[in-house]
Amino acid sequence: MLAAVISGSALWCAPADKSLPNVLLITVDTLRADHVSCYGYGRNTTPYIDGLAREGSRFSRAYTSIPLTGPAHISLFTGRYPQENGVRRNGVAPPDERALVTLPQILRGHGYQTGAFISSWPLLGRLTHLDRYFRTYDETLTRSYQIFNSSRYAEDVTPPALKWLHKHANKKKPFFLWVHYFDPHEPYVFRADFEPPKVDKAHPDEPLQDSDMRERVRSYDSEIYYTDHNIGKLLQALDEMHIKDSTMVVLVADHGESLGQHGYVGHGRHVYEGIIHIPFIIRYPGHVKAGQVIDTPVSIIDVTPTIVDLSVKNVVAVKKKVPIVFSGRSLASSLEDGKNPTDRWIYYVTFPGKKGYAPQWLSWMWVKNEELPLRFGRIDDFSKVTWDPTEKTLSLYDLRSDPYEDHPRVIADSNPTYEADTSELKKWFSRTATRAAEKKLSAHDEEVLKSLGYVQ
């Protein structure tokens, strides 16, 4: 169990410990793991991310808890599933009364300087309240889509992040810097100067069925290559400032993207592998074993407890400790000793979209099955179970023999297996579910989220 120091509603700020590592967290929006070259992709989309993996540890089977930008990041920072922290959709924040502590709060409580540089509308401070936990929260969105300034490019976010880094590094206090890149998210821009080359590899990519989708993938891959180039600038700065060895770098995606598989393009409403399987890499020289690949399935909710264990676990608090309990688990010991963590079930959810946003008491305006997720399931080793409560179908996959989920065993509600597996999923959800957060969006916020495909 992790203990943090809390005074009233805020974490008490302990004196800075010079032995504490800096922490650089990089989140890449909509980056599916199998389009990252160190995960076996047939194009060299990510040379800098690959270098990070060689110098650190890579989780080959990491999963998001929910395939939506805002809720996935809230799960990351709280170490809790969406139904626990209350954030099931974009445009809402955890309720103020929810007893949650976030990663930046914990690190600030131990003297860290905190800065965040985000690149998309769903992460605006007024929507997520994440700005409350960072001393600097840069959300200057300069790029327009469908008339709204709803995002910014990697070339826009990297310079101010580097400026903050140069200002706060090599000080008496360690830093926690979060940089979020949005570029692999739709609408994809084909960047002629960033078309990744093909490479030799051991296994083929999933075939694409038509020329339009091949062109879409070409643009998507160029966005990844372009983002990786900017990530390289951050990593190079750590070298130039001589703080590489004292800085923990964590790279993770919030979710992936369906590129036409199963007749679906996008993310948010389905939970196929291309949408929920994400890259997750940690480098911390001298503490995290270099070059190792951990094959045990892990979750995005494991990120915060792992960072905390690798950074402030040895700090002795001088005030009363209040325990923080995460649903995620720390992977620190596996990173340090090279042993795979114990297998456990990994859960994932996605919820019905609202037709607009309405108060809780107007629930008759919402789509059906608000009580249960739209789709949810679990992964046990290579066995994957996904339940669709609306259609009353249970899909079973063997990911070892069917990695693209083309041949599910579909079980109807009349089958005893259906009752057994769905009962287990309902029990898990009921144990972890709390009241969903609600928020009255401004008309402008709602229109922007609608333009990005997040509101029906």
Query: One-letter amino acid identity for 418?
Result: Y
Q: What confidence score (pLDDT) does residue 314 get?
A: 58
Give the C-alpha separation, 269 to 367, whole Å: 13
Give the C-alpha separation, 331 to 294, whole Å: 10
Residue from 451, 452, 445, 439 nearest 182 by CA: 452
Which residue, of 283, 304, 337, is where some domain finishes? 337
Residue from 122, 127, 121, 128 nearest 148 by CA: 121
Cα distances (Å, whole numbers) of residue 249 to 112, 283, 311, 406: 15, 5, 12, 36
For tokens 């393009």, what's the residue? 265
Residues 316 and 412 placed together within one structural domain of the fold: no
Residues 251 and 299 placed together within one structural domain of the fold: yes
91-105, 244-258, 284-298, 332-346, range with the lowest pLDDT = 91-105
Q: How many residues does the chain have?
A: 456
For the chain, state the CA radius of gyration. Answer: 21
CATH number at residue 221: 3.40.720.10
For tokens 């001393």, what's the residue? 135
pLDDT tens-digit readout, 18-57: 589 999 999 999 999 999 999 999 899 999 999 999 999 9
Which residue, of 305, 337, 369, is where some domain finishes? 337
Mean pLDDT of 5-14: 36
The pLDDT confidence band at residue 4, using thresholds 50, 70 and 90, is very low
Residues 323 and 373 placed together within one structural domain of the fold: no
Is residue 343, in this structure, part of any structural domain at all?
no
Residues 132 and 234 placed together within one structural domain of the fold: yes
The more confident residue out of 432 and 318 is: 432
Residue from 415, 365, 364, 357 nearest 387 by CA: 415
Is residue 352, in this structure, part of any structural domain at all?
yes
Give the C-alpha separation, 71 to 128, whole Å: 9
Burial class (CB in 10 A: 0-12, 13-18, 19+), 368: exposed
Residues 286 and 236 placed together within one structural domain of the fold: yes
Residues 123 and 32 placed together within one structural domain of the fold: yes
Is residue 456, in this structure, part of any structural domain at all?
no
Within 414-454, where are the H helices? 416-432, 443-451
Q: Which domain holds residue 28?
A: 2-337
- Residue 176 pairs in a beta bridge with 23, 114
pLDDT tens-digit readout, 129-148: 999 999 999 999 888 665 45
